[in-house]
């Protein structure tokens, strides 16, 4: 039985049209305003070549802006935190100049991952569904880090010997469209650009792919993970290609894969020392969460995980029980979920994923104070942990403790200033706490990340009008307003 046979929801054509238009319109103004920047970056020209490091950073910010506007994302803190943990396990062994990476999880059940200039790493939720082991999942991340480290996008642009702004805009649109749909749709949506050049830019060359394979295998081995996960993952993609009648998975649209390349990767992987590489339990718990998300219905997910537990499927016992608990939670059966999670915690006290999910169940079961106590205790043992802080803030908000929730969301936005989800939640908490200035400031940061500087300026003007002159907050708001106003002037 397969949980992901029908996606929960699909990315629609309106997202695609908005994404292409958004990038084409915004790429000409490569002087973006970043959330909580103290100064506005300007685009210089160091590093040589057609695309400088500053330009790559600006491209990355524009891409993130367009993704926020146009593609549904998964903000589940357990999923996002796991992705960050596996990427940063690999990063020390990747030859990257810029290690300030930003990660995004696209809400799509298709297999895909992408790397964009400026340090953007993206995955579809479907990569978790199809990568059966953590080693296979990590191999895709290592491959994408290798593309970034070798600056393949910039090198391909230099080969094309063109820097026309609209061509660059089209190439960017095509890259991101290929990440959330199929590459031919991405190409078709790019009106007024050199379609053939874009097509060539989207498809990494054989030399690029071989180099990314080689560098990626080294990254995996140096990080203590299994290089054999890479050819295994490639085999899974090829099987998907055959199952879909020759319609390749999204990933293969931009990363051409052949049997000879798989054989070469398998041969290279076999030359590394043969060691046992055990997956972390965390990967399989996160994978179970996404299997529930993409199931036909929560009740179907309950039946499937129950079948695993009853011995009618191959899944480790803790993972199957956890998946069943998540399925009960999504099926509005928090009592059953709570019982399972308490049992799991009795066997493995202190596991954060179980604790956070139990807090979710307690909140759904009307036991908000108990959820707060659980998360406060967990936070005491794990200071600064993102999923715990996130869930504690949600519980405080649910309990009507608006100021405590706002304080926690402020802490989170300080740590993760690029999260539109957190700025939205902070605005809601500030509103519940009747801190109108705080609402306007949080909304302004949200609009900045979404690329709507006019709306951001209006929010900051409202905040400024409500703060007495000469106060520290007035100075902060005025400085931010000045930055937004300058950015708008540079756009015109």
Strands in 102-106's sheet, in edge-to-edge order, are 102-106, 120-124, 113-116
3-state secondary structure of 319: helix
Q: Which of 243, 184, 180, 258 is nearest to 15 (CA)?
A: 180
Tell me if residue 144 is catalytic.
yes
Which residues lie closer than 8 Å to 409 by C-beta, 6 or more apart?
A: 393, 422, 425, 426, 429
Q: Is-contact 361 395, C-beta < 8 A?
A: no
HSE-CB at 258 with a 13 A cutoff on CA atoms is 8
Q: Give the C-alpha separation, 157 to 165, whole Å.
A: 12
Give the DSSP letter string of 284-308.
Answer: HHHHHHHHHHTSS-HHHHHHHHHHH
Tell me if residue 213 is catalytic.
yes
Q: Which of 189, 221, 228, 191 is nearest to 13 (CA)?
A: 189
Q: Which residues are 103's β-sheet partners? A: 121
Widest Cα–Cα separation across the chain: 69
Q: Give the C-alpha separation, 237 to 243, whole Å.
A: 10
Q: Give the C-alpha separation, 120 to 142, whole Å.
A: 13
Q: Which helix (H) or strand (E) holds 191?
A: none
Strands 113-116 and 102-106: unpaired
Give the DSSP letter string of 53-121.
Answer: HHHHHHHHHHHHHHHHHHS-B---HHHHHHHHHHHHHHGGGS--S----EEEEES-SS--EEEETTTEE
Tokens encoding 282: 């965390």
Which residues lie closer than 8 Å to 127 by C-beta, 6 or more apart?
A: 111, 112, 113, 137, 140
Q: Give the C-alpha separation, 435 to 446, whole Å.
A: 17
* Whole-number Cα distances in Å, 488 to 29, 61, 492: 10, 16, 7
Q: Is-contact 313 291, C-beta < 8 A?
A: no
Q: Which of 83, 121, 135, 127 is nearest to 107 (CA)?
A: 127
Query: Which of 76, 81, 213, 232 is an active site residue?
Result: 213
Query: Which of 76, 107, 144, 430 is an active site residue?
Result: 144
147 assigned to a ligand binding site: yes
CA distance from start to end of the chain: 56
284 assigned to a ligand binding site: no
Q: Which of 40, 38, 28, 43 is nearest to 486 (CA)?
A: 40
> What positions carry a catalytic annotation?
144, 213
Task: Show binding-site residues for Zn(2+).
Answer: 143, 147, 209
Task: Show binding-site residues.
Answer: 143, 147, 209
């Amino acid at each position: 039985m397969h949980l992901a046979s029908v996606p929960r929801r699909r990315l629609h054509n309106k997202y695609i049209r908005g994404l292409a238009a958004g990038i084409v319109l915004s790429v000409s103004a490569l002087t973006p305003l970043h959330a909580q920047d103290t100064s506005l970056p300007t685009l210089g020209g160091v590093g040589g070549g057609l695309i400088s490091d500053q330009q790559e950073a600006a491209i990355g910010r524009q891409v993130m802006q367009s993704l926020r506007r146009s593609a549904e994302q998964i903000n589940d803190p357990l999923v996002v935190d796991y992705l960050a943990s596996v990427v940063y396990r690999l990063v020390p062994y990747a030859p990257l100049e810029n290690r300030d990476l930003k990660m995004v999880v696209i809400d799509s059940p298709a297999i895909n991952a992408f790397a964009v200039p400026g340090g953007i790493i993206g995955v579809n939720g479907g990569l978790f569904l199809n990568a059966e082991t953590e080693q296979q999942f990590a191999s895709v991340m290592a491959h994408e880090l290798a593309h970034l480290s070798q600056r393949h996008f910039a090198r391909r642009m230099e080969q094309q010997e063109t820097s026309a702004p609209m061509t660059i805009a089209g190439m960017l649109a095509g890259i991101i469209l290929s990440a959330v749909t199929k590459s031919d749709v991405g190409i078709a949506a790019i009106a007024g650009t050199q379609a053939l050049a874009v097509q060539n830019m989207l498809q990494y060359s054989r030399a690029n792919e071989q180099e990314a394979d080689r560098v990626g295998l080294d990254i995996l081995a140096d990080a203590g993970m299994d290089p054999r996960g890479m050819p295994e993952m490639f085999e899974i993609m090829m099987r998907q290609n055959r199952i879909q009648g020759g319609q390749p998975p999204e990933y293969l649209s931009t990363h051409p894969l052949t049997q000879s390349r798989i054989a070469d990767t398998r041969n290279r992987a076999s030359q590394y020392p043969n060691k046992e590489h055990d997956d972390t339990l965390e990967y399989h718990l996160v994978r179970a969460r996404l299997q529930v998300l993409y199931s036909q219905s929560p009740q179907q997910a309950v039946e499937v995980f129950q079948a695993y537990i009853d011995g009618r499927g191959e899944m480790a016992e803790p993972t199957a029980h956890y998946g069943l608990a998540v399925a009960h939670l999504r099926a509005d059966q928090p009592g059953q979920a709570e019982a399972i999670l308490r049992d799991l915690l009795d066997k493995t006290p202190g596991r954060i994923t179980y604790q956070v999910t139990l807090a979710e169940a307690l909140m759904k079961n009307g036991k908000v104070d108990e959820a707060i106590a659980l998360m406060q205790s967990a936070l005491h043992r794990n200071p600064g942990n993102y999923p715990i802080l996130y869930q504690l803030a949600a519980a405080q908000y649910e309990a009507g403790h608006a100021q405590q929730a706002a304080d926690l969301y402020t802490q989170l936005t300080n740590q993760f200033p690029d999260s539109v989800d957190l700025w939205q939640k902070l605005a809601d908490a500030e509103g519940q706490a009747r801190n109108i200035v705080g609402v306007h400031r949080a909304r302004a940061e949200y609009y900045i990340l979404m690329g709507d500087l006019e709306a951001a300026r209006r929010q900051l003007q409202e905040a400024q009008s409500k703060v007495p002159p000469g106060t520290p907050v007035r100075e902060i708001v005025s400085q931010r307003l000045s930055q937004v106003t300058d950015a708008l002037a540079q756009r015109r």
